[in-house]
Amino acid sequence: MSRDASSLLDLDECIEHLRALIRIPSVNPPGVPEAAAGLDSAGAERAAAQYCADALGAVGIGTEVVEIEPGRGSCIARLPASVSEPEAPLILLSHLDVVPVDAESWSRDPFGGELIDGEVWGRGAVDMKDMVAMELAVMLALKRSGAPLRRDVIFAAVADEEAGGEFGARGLVERRPDLFRDAHGRPAEAALNEVGGYSMTLDGRRFYTLQVAEKGIVWTRLRSTGSPGHASMPHTDNAAVRLARAVAALAEDQAGRRAVVTPLVAEMLEAIGLGEVAELATSDPDAARSILEERVTDPVVRRSLDAMLRDTVTPTILRSGKKVNVMPGAGEAELDVRTLPGTDQETLLAHLRDVVGDDAEVEPVVALPAIEWPTDAPIVDHMRDALERADPEGIPLPMMITPGTDAKALAQLGIPCYGFAPLRLEADFPFLKLFHGHDERVPVSAIAFGLPVLLDVVRSYVVD
Ligand SMILES: [Zn+2]
């Protein structure tokens, strides 16, 4: 006998799980007290994984806490399919780690998990312990309902997303691919993950982001060399100057980088009333930029839209010299390079080598291609339908994000991973600014909207 899972969905319990998870300071890198407001973060990812395992285990869901390295825990749980010929699984993916805090810049305790004026405060509130708690609540509701499942539902809350996933998704995909497959060895048919799903109000219209693509990453190192010597008798072979010149040349090159309008981004701009930007982006970039300036008031949204229109090369770290009176013999810079679907990363690197010339060597350190999944997949239809039922005025908006997620790791197993953490937000809520920002928090009302939507999508996709 099964019961209706939506009547068993417990918002209060979900909020308490979120608050409890925020209080576990699972800062990445672990074990650096300054990064965790003085708290001991060693082993905190394992503690967070164990927290999820306990909550799921308490209702009889089979769980496993996997540690690729001691302390770097991930929680994997599975609700098995109950039909004789199941379809391939659905994964509810999330990450348990959070980025460091600068506690002095916060107006509240970043690891307090406080509930203040209808908002849950703390590191991870939007990135992404909110979704961990929502996916947990969906698993509990499904289990309590006893609903027959036509595919396995796999809950995977993993470590180390914020540092590339070697001890989390990427490591698990390499060493334990079975965790993401069913008993017949078939990889999951789809996964739901972070970022997309939130609402965005533009020109008075509310859009819900359906994240079907993300840009590629090439973390790149620049190396300059020079001749050491006493700085009181200078020569021109100075590694610091070469490095600065190379970085300045790259910045200038970036400022003039041509736009490339991918079909997905063109469609998205059209839907939000910025079709003109898509049309002019390549032929008249200045005009396209001024339309963006004029029409999109939120500077973070504007920068995000601009970054969807081109590859970006951003110098982030510079090192050279050790002593004020010694000319540096070496210099190093790091570049955060993000590529659109369709960009050949090798060709872009060759271009960067031309730009810096003799001033620096250019060496890729981590390269992950962009990903883009079909917008007409059944799971995406379920997202549209669930949103339509919950907010008939809202407009689903397939989109690309500029940062990377663990979706890149699942892509190695061929698993399409969609960003869908549904939240209905007030128009002026500074959502994107809170990712890795100070005073990270999430309105309870946003989760009260999103949690039933998430269950609706999962249920449509998995319940027989
Ligand atoms: Zn995240």
Q: Pull the structure tokens for residue 178.
A: 């079975």
How far is CA 16 from each of CA 12, 23, 58, 307, 406, rounded to the nearest angstrom?
6, 11, 16, 36, 25
As a residue count, the chain comes to 464
Cα 127 to ligand 1 centroid, rounded to whole Å:
4
CA–centroid distance, residue 124 to ligand 1 (Å):
8
How confident is the chain (464 residues) per 10-residue block, as mean pLDDT? 84 98 98 94 98 98 97 98 96 98 97 98 98 98 96 98 95 98 96 96 93 97 96 95 98 96 96 95 94 90 94 97 96 98 98 98 96 96 97 97 95 97 95 94 98 98 95
Number of other residues whose CB lies within 10 A of the CB of residue 255: 7
Residues 236 and 134 in one domain: no
Pairing of strands 190-193, 151-158: unpaired
- 16 burial (CB, 10 Å; 0-12 / 13-18 / 19+) is middle
The domain boundary residue, chosen from 307, 334, 368: 368
For residue 408, what pLDDT is reported? Answer: 96
Rounded to the nearest whole angstrom, what is the distance from the C-alpha of residue 381 to the centroid of ligand 1? 24
Distances (CA, A) of 140 to 8, 56, 124, 137: 8, 7, 21, 5
The CATH number for 157's domain is 3.40.630.10
- The per-residue pLDDT for 1 is 59
Q: Are 330 and 444 within one domain?
A: no
- The CATH number for 238's domain is 3.30.70.360
Whether residues 95 and 201 fall in one domain: yes
From the CA of 270, how far away is ligand 1's center (Å)?
A: 28
Residue tagged 């849950």 (tokens): 120
Q: What angle do CA 450, 456, 459 make, to 5 degrees?
A: 140
Residues 364 and 402 in one domain: no
Give the model's pLDDT for residue 298.
Answer: 84
* 3 state DSSP class of 69: coil
List the structure tokens of 76.
Answer: 């994997």
Same domain, 285 and 303: yes
Please give the distance, rounded to the nearest whole angstrom, from the Cα atom of residue 260 to the centre of ligand 1.
Answer: 26
Q: Compute, in angstroms, the gap from residue 194 CA to the centroid of ligand 1.
A: 6
At 207, list the tokens: 């859009």
pLDDT of residue 155: 98
Distance 420 CA to ligand 1 centre (A): 12
Residue type for position 460: S
Residues 258 and 320 in one domain: yes
Ligand 1 mean position to 32 CA, how many Å? 20
| Bridging pattern class, strands 87-95 and 190-193 | parallel
Domain count, the chain: 2
Beta bridge partners of 396: 208
Whether 92 and 191 share a structural domain:
yes
Domain holding 19, by residue range, is 5-206+371-462
271 CA from centroid of ligand 1 (Å): 26
Predicted local distance difference test score (pLDDT) of residue 336: 97
pLDDT at 4: 85
Based on the fold, state whether residues 327 and 415 are members of the same structural domain: no
Same domain, 38 and 181: yes
**Shared-domain flag, residues 117 and 248:** no
* Same-domain status, 191 and 280: no
Identify the domain boundary among 305, 338, 368: 368
Which of 316, 350, 368 finishes a domain?
Answer: 368
Give yes or no: residues 233 and 138 share one domain. no
Q: Both tokens of residue 409?
A: 């790791």
